[in-house]
Amino acid sequence: MDDPFPHAFSPFRIGGFDVRNRLVALPAGTSLVEHGVPTHGDVEHFERLAAGGVGMIVAGAMVVHPSSALRSGKLVEAYRDEVVAAMAAKADVVHRHGARLVGQLCHLGREFIGGESDSAPMAPSAIKTVRDAYPPHVLTHADIDAIVEGWRVSTRHLVEAGVDGVEIHAAHGYLPAQFMSPLTNRRTDSFGGSFENRMRFLHLVVEAMRSVIPPGFALGVRLSGEEEIPGGMGIEDCVRIAEDLAAAYPIDYFSITHGTRGKYVKDSTGPDAVAIPSASRVRAATGVPTLVGQRIRDVATAEHAIKAGHADLVGMARALIADPDLPVKSQTGRLDEVRGCLGINQDCRAFDPHLHCAVNAEVGRGRLPGVGVKVDRPKEIYVVGGGPAGLEAARVSAERGHRVTVFEGACALGGAVRVAAASPHRATLIDIVDYLERETRRLKVDVNLGAVISPDDLEEIRGIADHVVLATGSRVAALPAAVQARDGVTVESVLTGDVPDEPGVAVVYDEGDGFWPAYSAAEALAQRGWQVTFSTALTALASRVPAESAGPLLQRLGGAGVSLQVAHSVVVPDDPASPVVLRPVFGGPEVEVEPALLVWHQQRVVDDTLLGVAEPGAALTVIGDGLTPRRISHAIAEGYRFGATV
């Protein structure tokens, strides 16, 4: 059979070394760091990436100076001597598996990525970022000299550690970009004003780094092709910057991305591979090898980008967190076995307290002993419920050699995830169900659809199976009687299209969730032409939606004309003739509304049909929403843990 990805899996020379293929693991910090030094868990994460077949890994972002360190010590502090041994260990495990390691260095400048620092924020000019509370200290020439020296020392440490190269993080609105952009640089000295002056800081950084870089050690620069903020730098600026650097220094590669802090981690509501056109422009203008990333989720996209001449290397971050084996699975024709990234930014961006993944329970926890190793005595495992928890339990159990049977009452697998995937821009949620369904087929799991298990059935199968898993999930709670009297509907009804065809005035009420469901219902109605008022009793909008997703979500709702009411309860009188009222939680005038459609969202409740007759015991385990309704990540983690230990 012909190789489906001949370009993506061809070798490439970058700087003074060869990479085995064109796939790159982009910088994605783990926070498995203590006092600024990577821990053993961080090293294990990089070994897992290298073992999965990627050609090169970029480790980042490591700060170059104490003024950019976080109080938590969760960023790698590359200027510290202690980092050398830890990075050497990381380089050793990466090299052992045939991959290359590049260290990314940065200074955040006026940004502090959501963490406190014992240093003042600092920038070329005293222009406050909207993301942080304080205006920055204006860098003096002495400050600049100290930070440039930090870049030199940090680079020397990476050389001593035996990594293969270094990358300057000059993207995402961090310090080099703050100097380069007229939006954030209003200086009148030799570091501001003209393009040449605004480039001076980055030139000093490159020169300092080059002074300690040996032959064959690669130097790359990461740039934002589009900053995606009003007045920010765009592709013309990016091309000019790249041309300037390529003319002045031996730059071994450019890494092209889009966005600034809060905007560069693209979720499922945006298009894939948005930075490829920008990378193509930079590559054509400079002739320098170019790496492109930004929500690239599969090798087919990488193959196209390389074959078409848009880039030489293609990077992925979250896709390789979801499945580190994506490269080797793709290269060996096992595409159906790839566990895809959902792009929901739910766990990988929370850092609670370090990196996790909604669909890969091993990230941040490590692989449990026995996973993937056949058991000596296979058991008969019956799983009741075909949502993510039950399917993951079935997958891991079957992979270990147990005989697994799944019973799902509906005519399709997925449970509540299938409804959530019907939300606007959230269709990728179904990818985890599709993956797990493919895995059940591959592993010969006996899946029974339309198989409703009664309490009597449960007693019967408990007598047959060695172990029963109840993954029966949750259900929509009954609507309040007053809401039912007005023909109110649930969020689920809206998402599945069970609403009047003729649009009118709708009120969507989020009683206290703050997560996606009610917001998705409001967006779905607005797309169908409804005039929507969204009200929540909470004091903030989308308070539980991941930070990188909340902004785009609220922007879409505002653009669709949705009226957003914070800290307002919706009061529905028992008398259907009385008007519905929006009541401020903390007092103030009430507003009467007359909706043609009332959408009421409250927390789901445990489906306790079987739980009431089956006490958990040695041979019965309850997982997922059957314990209490939560997120996909909890369901996957509990299914994985059961499968690994049964």
Same-domain check for residues 268 and 407 = no
- pLDDT value of position 604: 93
Same-domain check for residues 273 and 141 = yes
431 and 340 Cβ atoms separated by less than 8 Å: yes
CA distance 239 to 524: 39
Same-domain check for residues 560 and 468 = no
Burial of 251 per CB tally in 10 Å (0-12, 13-18, 19+): buried
- pLDDT value of position 189: 98
**Which pLDDT tens digit goes with each residue over 590-616?**
999 999 999 999 989 999 889 877 666
Average pLDDT value for residue range 397-419: 97
Residue 1 lies in a domain: no
Phi/psi of residue 591, nearest 5 degrees: -125, 125
Same-domain check for residues 78 and 223 = yes
Residue 638 lies in a domain: yes
- CB neighbours of 181 closer than 8 A, spacing ≥ 6? 173, 198, 227, 232, 233, 237
- Please report the DSSP string for 527-570 in residue order: HTT-EEEEEESSSSTTTTS-HHHHHHHHHHHHHTT-EEESSEEE
Average pLDDT value for residue range 317-339: 97
Average pLDDT value for residue range 377-389: 98
- pLDDT value of position 504: 96
Q: Name the 3-class secondary structure at 282.
A: helix
Q: How many CA atoms lie within 13 A of 608 on its CB side?
A: 9
State the average pLDDT for the chain: 95
Residue 356 lies in a domain: no
Residue 199, Cβ neighbours under 10 Å: how many?
A: 20
- pLDDT value of position 485: 95
- pLDDT value of position 72: 93
Residue 7 lies in a domain: no
- For the chain, give the number of residues: 646
- pLDDT value of position 561: 97
According to DSSP, the residues that pair with 165 across neighbouring strands are 102, 218
CA distance 583 to 34: 47
CA dihedral 198, 201, 205, 206 (to 10 degrees): 30
Q: What is the largest CA-CA distance in the chain?
A: 82
Same-domain check for residues 232 and 133 = yes
- pLDDT value of position 616: 67
**Which pLDDT tens digit goes with each residue over 239-298?**
999 999 999 999 999 999 999 998 889 988 888 999 999 999 999 999 999 999 999 999
Same-domain check for residues 319 and 418 = no
- Please report the DSSP string for 121-158 in residue order: -EESS----TTSSSPPEEPPHHHHHHHHHHHHHHHHHH
β-pairing, 100-106 vs 165-169, is: parallel
- pLDDT value of position 112: 84
pLDDT exceeds cutoff 60 at 1: no
Residue 510 lies in a domain: yes
Average pLDDT value for residue range 166-188: 98
3-state SS string for 364-421: CCCCCCCCCCCCCCCCEEEEECCCHHHHHHHHHHHHCCCEEEEEECCCCCCCHHHHHC
Nearest to 388 by CA among 421, 411, 417: 417
Nearest to 244 by CA among 180, 162, 175: 180
Residue 311 banded pLDDT, cuts 50, 70, 90: very high
Both tokens of 114, joined, read: 């959501």
- pLDDT value of position 611: 83
119 and 135 Cβ atoms separated by less than 8 Å: no
pLDDT exceeds cutoff 80 at 305: yes
**Which pLDDT tens digit goes with each residue over 201-212?**
999 999 999 999
Q: What CATH number does the domain containing 562 carry?
A: 3.50.50.60
Residue 487, Cβ neighbours under 10 Å: how many?
A: 11
Among 285, 313, 337, which residue terminates a domain? Answer: 337
Average pLDDT value for residue range 579-584: 96
**Which pLDDT tens digit goes with each residue over 57-105?**
999 889 999 999 999 999 999 999 999 999 999 999 999 999 999 999 9
Average pLDDT value for residue range 423-438: 97
Nearest to 599 by CA among 503, 535, 527: 535
CA dihedral 357, 624, 416, 546 (to 10 degrees): -30
Same-domain check for residues 486 and 393 = no
639 and 623 Cβ atoms separated by less than 8 Å: yes
Q: How many CA atoms lie within 13 A of 145 on its CB side?
A: 3
pLDDT exceeds cutoff 60 at 545: yes
Among 586, 603, 620, which residue terminates a domain? Answer: 603
- Tally the domains of the chain: 3
Classify the phi-psi angles of 587: left when phi > 0, otherwise alpha if psi is within -120 to 50, otherwise beta.
Answer: left
Q: How many CA atoms lie within 13 A of 183 on its CB side?
A: 19
Average pLDDT value for residue range 185-202: 98
Residue 556 lies in a domain: yes
Same-domain check for residues 314 and 444 = no
Residue 348 lies in a domain: no
Q: Percentage of residues in the chain with pLDDT exceeding 90? A: 91
Residue 472, Cβ neighbours under 10 Å: how many?
A: 29
Same-domain check for residues 591 and 626 = no
pLDDT exceeds cutoff 80 at 237: yes
Q: What CATH number does the domain containing 412 carry?
A: 3.40.50.720
Q: What is the DSSP letter of 50?
A: H
CA distance 217 to 19: 13
Question: In this structure, which amino acid lies at residue 120?
Answer: A
Same-domain check for residues 442 and 325 = no
Q: Percentage of residues in the chain with pLDDT exceeding 70? A: 99
Range of the domain at 454: 380-476+606-645
Q: Name the 3-class secondary structure at 489.
A: strand
Same-domain check for residues 246 and 386 = no
Q: What CATH number does the domain containing 294 carry?
A: 3.20.20.70
Both tokens of 159, joined, read: 């050389």
Residue 596, Cβ neighbours under 10 Å: how many?
A: 15
Residue 616 lies in a domain: yes
- pLDDT value of position 199: 98
Same-domain check for residues 302 and 450 = no
Q: Which residue has the higher pLDDT, 311 or 271?
A: 311
**Sign, Cα dihedral of 420, 425, 428, 430:** positive
Please give the angle made by the CA atoms of 544, 547 and 549, to the nearest 5 degrees: 95
3-state SS string for 607-641: CCCCHHHCCCECCEEECHHHCCCCCHHHHHHHHHH
Residue 351, Cβ neighbours under 10 Å: how many?
A: 18
